[in-house]
Amino acid sequence: MRIEGRRYRDEWLPNSYPSKKFSDRFVRVSRTGKAIFLTEAEDAQINEFFMDGDLFKRLENTGHLITRDNSATVFSNLATWLKGTYEGPGLHIVVTTRRCNLDCTYCHMYPQPMDALTTENDLDLATIPYIARFIMSSPRPSLTVEFQGGEPFLNFPAMVQMFDEINGLNASVGKKINFSVTSNLMVANDEQLAYCYENKIQVAYSLNGPQPLHDLVRITRSGAGSHAVVMRRVDHIRSKFPGLLGSYPLCVITEGNMAQLNQMADYYFDLGFKELGLIHLKNLGNARGRVEFDVRKFVPHYFDLLDHIYNKNKLSENCYTERIAKIALQKILYPSNPLFVDWRNPIGYFSNCVIYDYDGEILPVDEARSLRDVFSLGNVRNTTYDELIRKRSSFDTLNLSIRDRDSICRECTYNPYCGVSPVLNYAKTGKLAPEPHVSDECILVLAVFDWLFKKLIEEDPIPLLKMVPEYISAVARQLTNRAETQQSQKPVVGTVSDHSTVQTINS
């Protein structure tokens, strides 16, 4: 009964999540993260008795079907999509002190006053060799060591010793190790900054919008704002130590500033930044009971912001982007799930990221620092990397983030693109297992991908693709190179609109 040109259900296994309709198109995402647009008739055939041969070929090529011929490729694509999950932790966050000169209302820790006892709040130098050995036990060839506080520069000797210990251990190993420090920039002196500059220790910082918005949340214990000092420090550090500061500041969204996102985007744009580093408020530490954030209220404001940035990119040669949307687009465009530890399925807790608190306590993510009684994995003084990596329980929190555990998530179009946090869910609801449509991350993921796919299908994709500048600049550069090559080879100028003129970035 088989008809030539048709393919039948004994020739494939489905390998995608349920589709979602946008205008006349259906989006389907494969288990290896590939998105494809189908017509209604095409999408229906996935759940019919047979399929047209042409559609079968397309879905076989993209891995939305597993067939006899593509199974090896699909598994290779799966390994690529999950790359970074099983190579060992890459991001190691070392807390040098709990003390801080600020008392930000939204802080996800419990910062201690500047004059609090160092013996109770600072990383003891004797603990540092234990942490260094733990870090260097990760088999990953490229590591990032990030110093956090409090204000980490308040225990600068610990930063220096950690840097020396790591480099000492690495001398015979040869890993690529990046160092960074997250600071409010207010207490680091030029001698300390020069040390960072000379040793390529990148400095990340926060600037929470223009002065009235920044000073609502980033305050001293007496309630004074910090915007003016931070801006002076940014100017000073940029001029004296060019390239030392991160390429854009981080900015926390609360209910107090979510209605001003467009103005904030313009503020950063006018200051010369090319990316907006938004982070939504987490219900942790200082923030609990002091500052509010409701993701459902945030989403409409966020859509306005994305439209605002889209229009900026439409009208300008330049690229401007926002971090959440950029990572989401990378998930759609890239063969590997971006290694953003907080936004993966499974999440990167302990598999990608380890925290060493001020007393050597090991945690799976920095958000767990105010919830140590629930999430502690042990202490560097009495356990080792090898012991922890072998323990099934080390991955308990990560396991709860795996979205195929939940029947609703198994039916979600965006399952591979998701990233829910058991730590944040626990902080919000008291339950460890993230719940679909309750978890802030779930609500945001659904909203962001709905917005992106609608835009990609219904409008010009170029302004949106410019939100991944690395992608579009590489393609643009290649097109220019090829046009120039053609021009030099031919007496008559050819056209770049010929599809064949664009080969591969890798070629």
- 347 interacts with another protein by CB under 8 A: no
The residues, ordered by sequence, that sit 6+ positions from 82 with a Cβ below 8 Å of its Cβ are: 336, 337
Task: Determine the interface stretch with another protein among 255-263, 346-354, 384-392, 409-417 (rule: CB under 8 A).
Answer: 346-354
Q: Are 341 and 416 in contact (CB under 8 A)?
A: no
- 234 interacts with another protein by CB under 8 A: no
One residue of 333, 391, 431, 459 binding another protein per CB under 8 A: 333
- The least distance separating another protein from the CB of residue 250, rounded to whole angstroms, comes to 8
- 22 interacts with another protein by CB under 8 A: no
- 407 interacts with another protein by CB under 8 A: no
One residue of 7, 31, 51, 84 binding another protein per CB under 8 A: 84
Strand partners, 280: 253
Q: Are 149 and 160 in contact (CB under 8 A)?
A: no
Within positions 245 to 284, which residues make up the interface with another protein, using CB under 8 A?
A: 245-248, 272, 274-275, 277
Task: Determine the interface stretch with another protein among 9-17, 126-134, 166-174, 238-246 (rule: CB under 8 A).
Answer: 238-246
Rounded alpha-carbon distances, angstroms, from residue 85 to 145, 344, 421, 423: 18, 9, 16, 19
Nearer Cβ to another protein (265/406): 265
One residue of 18, 73, 80, 389 binding another protein per CB under 8 A: 80
- The least distance separating another protein from the CB of residue 117, rounded to whole angstroms, comes to 28
Rounded alpha-carbon distances, angstroms, from residue 94 to 152, 167, 340, 361, 422: 9, 15, 18, 10, 22
Q: Where are the beta strands (DSSP E) in 328-459?
A: 353-356, 361-363, 378-379
Distance in angstroms (rounded) separating the CA atoms of residues 4 and 346: 42
- The least distance separating another protein from the CB of residue 240, rounded to whole angstroms, comes to 15
- 499 interacts with another protein by CB under 8 A: yes
- The least distance separating another protein from the CB of residue 411, rounded to whole angstroms, comes to 22
Task: Determine the interface stretch with another protein among 77-85, 152-160, 191-199, 217-225 (rule: CB under 8 A).
Answer: 77-85
- The least distance separating another protein from the CB of residue 317, rounded to whole angstroms, comes to 5
Taking the mean position of all CA atoms in its chain, how far away is CA 440? 15
Task: Determine the interface stretch with another protein among 61-69, 100-108, 165-173, 368-376 (rule: CB under 8 A).
Answer: 61-69
Residues in the chain, overall count: 507
Distance in angstroms (rounded) separating the CA atoms of residues 300 and 306: 10
- 36 interacts with another protein by CB under 8 A: yes
Residue 324 three-state SS: helix
Give the x-and-dash track for 424-463 against another protein (CB under 8 A). --------------------------------x---xxx-
One residue of 16, 96, 352, 401 binding another protein per CB under 8 A: 352
One residue of 61, 71, 189, 311 binding another protein per CB under 8 A: 61
Peptide bond into 129 cis (omega under 30): no
Within positions 293 to 322, which residues make up the interface with another protein, using CB under 8 A?
A: 317-319
Distance in angstroms (rounded) separating the CA atoms of residues 46 and 8: 10
Helix (H) or strand (E) holding 427: helix 422-429
Q: Are 97 and 123 in contact (CB under 8 A)?
A: yes
Q: Are 349 and 89 in contact (CB under 8 A)?
A: no
Backbone φ and ψ for 35, nearest 5 degrees, come out as -100, 145
Within positions 132 to 171, which residues make up the interface with another protein, using CB under 8 A?
A: 144, 146
Q: Count CA within 13 A, CB hemisphere, residue 366.
A: 21
* Number of residues in contact with another protein under rule CB under 8 A: 81
Nearer Cβ to another protein (13/476): 476
The residues, ordered by sequence, that sit 6+ positions from 373 with a Cβ below 8 Å of its Cβ are: none
CA quadruple 322, 311, 471, 336: dihedral sign: positive
One residue of 196, 261, 327, 347 binding another protein per CB under 8 A: 327
Taking residue 476's Cβ as centre, other Cβ atoms within 10 Å add up to 12
Phi-psi region for residue 360, left (φ > 0), alpha (ψ -120 to 50) or beta? left
- 35 interacts with another protein by CB under 8 A: yes
- The least distance separating another protein from the CB of residue 192, rounded to whole angstroms, comes to 17
- The least distance separating another protein from the CB of residue 382, rounded to whole angstroms, comes to 26
Within positions 465 to 494, which residues make up the interface with another protein, using CB under 8 A?
A: 465-466, 469-480
Nearer Cβ to another protein (168/335): 335
Nearer Cβ to another protein (152/406): 152
